[in-house]
C-alpha cells in the first residue's frame, strides 16, 4: 500500500500504537491531543534534536527502514549520553512522498519503537507532512540529569587526559564499503564495518558513569570525527589539545579493511564521522578511577588518546616524531570541499 492510499491520520494511528515505551507514570496525555502533557523528570531537562535527510544523511537503498528508525533515535541518544543524562521522551517529525510504501514506514516505526523500548523512551508526539522529494526524519529527545551531573563541552583544563569510549573510524570505513565495495576486504571485517555505520550504538551507560564518577570536566559525542569534535571542546573550553596518533583506538576490522583499501586507519579514526563514541577530558588524578568505573559498568575500556594543553588548536603527534596542527577536518554540511556524505 502507498502512503497516499493510507492517509495522514491512519499513519499517525500506526505510529502512536505502543509508543509510550518508557516511564508511563509521568505521561498525562501522549499522542492524540494538541500537545503532550507530561510531568517533568527530576532535575535539569536536556533537550536535543536531529534531522536525517534522504540523500544527505542516508541512502534509502543502503540502510533498512528498521536500521534507519533505530539510527534516528541513536543519534539523539548519543547527544543525551554526551551530556551525562538519562533519555526520557521523544517527538518524531516525518515528511514522506505520497508514493512511499506504508510497509517501509511501518518497519521504520518498529525500529524506532524497538530502540525506544530498550532505552525506556516515551514517544509522545510529532508532526507529519507530505514531502516533494525523499524522506525527511526529525527527532527531538528530552532527557534529564541532576544539575551537578551535567557534562558540558566547556570544562576542560590544561593537564586533563583525553579519553574515548570504543574504537574510532569503523563507521567511516563501513560507509565507504557501502558506497563502493571493492569486494576484497575480508567478509567478516566488511560486514562488521558496514554494521558499525548502519547500526551505531549510543554510549548511554558510559555517559552516565562519566557524569557520576567525578573528575570528568568536559565531554562531547563524536559524530563529525574526533578531530572536529575535539576542536569544539577546545574552543568551548578555551584550551588546546595534543593527540597521540598511534594511541587512537582502531579495531582489527578497520586495520584489515584499510590494508585493502589503501587507507590509513589512524586518519580514518581522526576524521571519520558517525562513530558516536564519547570523548571526555578527565582530571589526571581521576583517570584511573573513571576508567575502572566505565569498564566495570559496561565491560568496555576507555582509551587515552591525548592531553589538554594551554593555548589553542589541536596538534597531532605522529609516531615518526613529526607534529601537525589541524583545523577541523570533520564534517561541515555547508562547506563544499568537505565532500559528499551518505
Ligand atoms: P496538529 O494539527 O495539532 O499539528 P496533528 O494532526 O499533526 O495535530 O497531530 C495529531 C497528534 O498526532 C498529535 O498528538 C501529534 O503529536 C501526533 N503526531 C503527528 N505526527 C506524528 C508523528 N510523526 N509521530 C508521532 N506523533 C505524531
Ligand atoms: Mg501537525
Going by C-alpha positions, the residue among 45, 100, 46, 36 that lies closest to residue 78 is: 46
Over residues 156-208, the pLDDT tens digits come to 999 999 999 999 999 999 999 999 888 888 889 999 999 999 999 999 999 99
**Rounded to whole angstroms, how far apart are CA atoms 187 and 337?**
32
Q: How far is the CA of 137 from the centre of ligand 1 (A)?
A: 14
**HSE-up (13 A, CA, CB side) for residue 261:** 26
User: Between residues 42 and 204, which one has the greater pLDDT?
Assistant: 204
Q: What is the pTM of this model?
A: 0.94
Q: How far is the CA of 267 from the centre of ligand 1 (A)?
A: 44
30, 90, 125: which to mutate for ligand 1, most atoms within 8 A of CB?
125
94, 121, 127: which to mutate for ligand 1, most atoms within 8 A of CB?
127
Given a cut of 60, whether residue 330 has pLDDT beyond it is no
Residue nearest to atom 9 of ligand 1 (CA): 127
Given a cut of 70, whether residue 336 has pLDDT beyond it is no
For position 338, what pLDDT does the model report? 44
Q: How far is the CA of 170 from the centre of ligand 1 (A)?
A: 37
Which grid cell is 301?
575500556
Which grid cell is 306?
591525548
Over residues 214-261, the pLDDT tens digits come to 999 999 999 999 999 999 999 999 999 999 999 999 999 999 999 999
Angstrom CA distances, 60 to 116, 131, 253, 288, 306, stand at 22, 15, 25, 43, 38
Q: Which residues pair with 243 in a beta bridge?
A: 306, 316
User: Locate cell 590509513: which residue?
Assistant: 264
CB of 286 shorter than 6 A to ligand 1? no
The pLDDT-based confidence of 337 (bands split at 50, 70, 90) is very low
Angstrom CA distances, 222 to 81, 125, 126, 277, 293, stand at 11, 28, 27, 5, 21
Nearest ligand for residue 105 CA: 1
For position 183, what pLDDT does the model report? 85
31, 130, 135, 138: which to mutate for ligand 1, most atoms within 8 A of CB?
31
- What share of the chain has pLDDT > 90, as a percent? 90
Dmax (CA) for the chain in angstroms is 64
Lowest mean pLDDT among 75-84, 89-98, 271-280, 319-328: 319-328
**Residues 160, 284 contacting (CB under 8 angstroms):** yes
For position 189, what pLDDT does the model report? 96
**Rounded to whole angstroms, how far apart are CA atoms 55 and 32?**
31
Mean pLDDT, the chain, integer: 94
For position 42, what pLDDT does the model report? 85
Q: Ligand 2 being an ion, which residues bring their Cβ within 5 A of it?
A: 127
Over residues 264-322, the pLDDT tens digits come to 999 999 999 999 999 999 999 999 999 999 999 999 999 999 999 999 999 999 988 88
- SS3 (DSSP) at 16: helix
- Classify residue 333 by its DSSP letter: T
Angstrom CA distances, 111 to 7, 50, 183, 190, 208, stand at 21, 17, 29, 23, 24
**HSE-up (13 A, CA, CB side) for residue 243:** 28
Which grid cell is 99?
508514493
Which contiguous run of DSSP H or E holds residue 303?
strand 302-309
Amino acid at each position: 500500500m502507498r502512503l497516499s492510499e493510507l492517509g495522514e491520520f491512519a499513519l499517525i494511528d500506526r505510529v502512536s500504537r505502543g509508543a509510550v515505551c518508557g516511564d508511563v507514570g509521568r505521561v498525562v496525555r501522549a499522542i492524540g491531543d494538541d500537545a503532550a502533557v507530561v510531568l517533568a523528570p527530576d532535575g535539569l531537562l536536556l533537550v536535543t534534536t536531529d534531522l536525517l535527510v534522504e540523500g544527505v544523511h542516508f541512502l534509502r537503498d543502503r540502510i533498512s527502514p528498521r536500521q534507519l528508525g533505530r539510527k534516528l533515535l541513536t543519534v539523539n541518544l548519543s547527544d543525551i549520553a554526551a551530556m551525562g543524562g538519562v533519555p526520557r521522551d521523544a517527538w518524531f517529525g516525518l515528511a514522506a512522498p505520497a508514493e512511499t510504501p506504508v510497509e517501509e514506514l511501518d518497519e521504520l516505526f518498529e525500529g524506532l519503537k524497538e530502540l525506544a523500548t530498550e532505552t525506556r523512551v516515551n514517544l509522545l508526539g510529532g508532526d507529519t507532512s507530505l514531502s516533494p522529494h525523499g524522506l525527511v526524519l526529525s527527532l527531538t529527545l528530552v532527557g534529564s540529569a541532576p544539575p551537578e551531573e551535567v557534562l558540558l563541552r566547556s570544562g576542560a583544563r590544561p593537564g586533563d587526559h583525553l579519553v574515548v569510549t570504543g574504537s574510532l573510524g569503523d563507521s567511516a570505513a563501513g560507509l565507504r564499503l557501502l558506497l563502493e565495495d571493492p569486494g576484497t576486504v575480508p567478509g567478516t571485517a566488511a560486514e562488521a564495518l558496514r554494521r558499525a555505520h548502519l547500526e551505531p550504538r549510543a554510549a548511554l551507560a558510559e555517559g552516565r558513569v562519566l557524569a557520576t564518577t567525578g573528575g570528568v570536566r568536559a565531554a562531547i559525542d563524536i559524530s563529525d570525527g574526533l578531530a572536529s569534535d575535539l576542536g569544539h571542546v577546545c574552543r568551548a573550553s578555551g584550551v588546546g589539545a595534543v593527540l597521540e596518533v598511534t594511541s587512537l583506538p582502531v579495531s582489527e576490522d578497520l586495520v584489515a579493511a584499510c590494508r585493502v583499501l589503501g587507507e590509513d586507519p589512524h586518519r580514518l579514526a581522526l576524521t571519520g564521522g558517525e562513530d558516536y563514541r564519547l570523548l571526555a577530558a578527565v582530571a589526571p588524578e581521576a583517570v584511573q578511577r573513571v576508567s575502572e568505573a566505565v569498564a566495570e559498568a559496561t565491560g568496555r575500556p576507555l582509551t587515552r588518546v591525548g592531553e589538554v594543553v594551554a593555548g589553542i588548536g589541536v596538534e597531532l603527534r605522529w609516531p615518526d616524531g613529526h607534529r601537525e596542527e589541524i583545523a577541523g577536518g570533520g564534517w561541515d554540511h555547508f562547506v563544499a570541499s568537505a565532500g559528499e556524505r551518505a
